Amino acid sequence: MLLSWFASGAVRKKSRVIDLGTGTGIIPLLLYGRTGAQKIQALEIQENMVEMAGRSVACNGLEEKIEIIHGDIKNPGEQVRPTSYDVVVSNPPYMKVGHGLKNPMETKAIARHEILCGIEDVVIFAKRMLKDRGKLFLIHRADRLADIMSAMRDHRVEPKRLQFIHPYADKPANLVLVEGMKAGKPYLITEAPIVVYEKDGRYTQTINDIYGTPAPYDRIIENKTAPEQ
């Protein structure tokens, strides 16, 4: 939800957009709802997740607007053309291999751990696929920020904007939103932080405002039903 909101300001109706590791397809659905982009592609390596994402798109009647592609970020295939995208978005796996508890379910393990895709893979993809001055948007764990910034600089995707996300006002940030620009000039803006919860557990007004912008979550049909084996 926060990633689609963070990226939406860079997406115009004629923008070419691709979501990496789309999972159930929720990010392109929300991004389309916020921007009305004419075409959004979404890349996913896991076949069962591709089927779920396809059903999510079909349930919302957006087959002409959102294209789900079964492919690998390292070899995405002919449907994904280099230097042709205005915006790349990604909610990549957060955990390094060997860190944290690995889920015994392969689908969830791949989504959460850098088994098939890491930060550098996402940045390399963005460098290959973005037009000059095209933008990459990520959400990741705040404690991986140094890795993100280093990978971006190494591959000519200049960090341009950060926004930290705190679960509570008195707690450290646990997530960070990052915007980078291919072949951009050095200049980094740190936005005011987002606090998710009030002390009593209610959403803050900031979160309510974000969730209440166009295409609130409850208008999107997300298919989470596993395909038949």
CA dihedral over 194, 122, 118, 80, signed as positive or negative: positive
> Mean pLDDT, to the nearest integer, of 156-162?
98
Tell me, yes or no, whether 225 lies in a domain.
Answer: no
- Which neighbouring-strand residues pair with 18? 41, 88
Does 226 map to a domain? no
Amino acid identity, position 3: L
Higher pLDDT, 36 or 111: 36
Instruction: Tell me the pLDDT tens digit for each residue of 10-55.
Output: 999 999 999 999 999 999 999 999 999 989 999 999 999 999 999 9
Range of the domain at 39: 2-217
Question: Residue 188's domain is classified under what CATH number?
Answer: 3.40.50.150
**Residue 224, domain member (yes or no):** no
Alpha helices in the chain (DSSP H): 2-8, 26-35, 47-59, 106-112, 119-129, 145-154, 205-211
Question: In b/e form, how buried is each residue of 158-182, taking b as 16+ CB within 10 angstroms?
Answer: bbbbbbbbbeeeeeebebbbbbbbb
Residue 222 has a pLDDT of 65
Distance, in Å, from the CA atom of 223 to the CA atom of 219, rounded to the nearest integer, reads: 13
pLDDT at 105: 56
Rounded Cα distance, 214 and 9, in Å: 12
For 108, the token pair is 């969830």
Beta-strand pair 130-141/175-182: antiparallel
Instruction: Indicate the pLDDT class of residue 75, thresholds 50, 70 and 90.
Output: confident
Question: Is residue 131 situated within a structural domain?
Answer: yes
Give the residue, 194 or 102, on which the prediction is more confident.
194
Tokens coding 111? 């989504």
Report the predicted TM-score, pTM, of the whole model to 2 decimal places.
Answer: 0.86
Q: Is residue 151 part of a domain?
A: yes
In the chain, how many domains are there?
Answer: 1
| Residue 227 belongs to a domain | no
pLDDT band at 94 (very low <50, low <70, confident <90, very high): low
State the CB neighbour count (10 A cutoff) for residue 190: 10
Residue 103 in any domain: the answer is yes
Question: Considering the domain boundaries, does residue 126 fall inside one?
Answer: yes
pLDDT 10s digits, 167-225: 999 999 999 999 999 999 999 999 999 999 999 999 999 999 998 854 444 456 666 65
CA angle 142, 128, 144 (to 5 degrees): 10
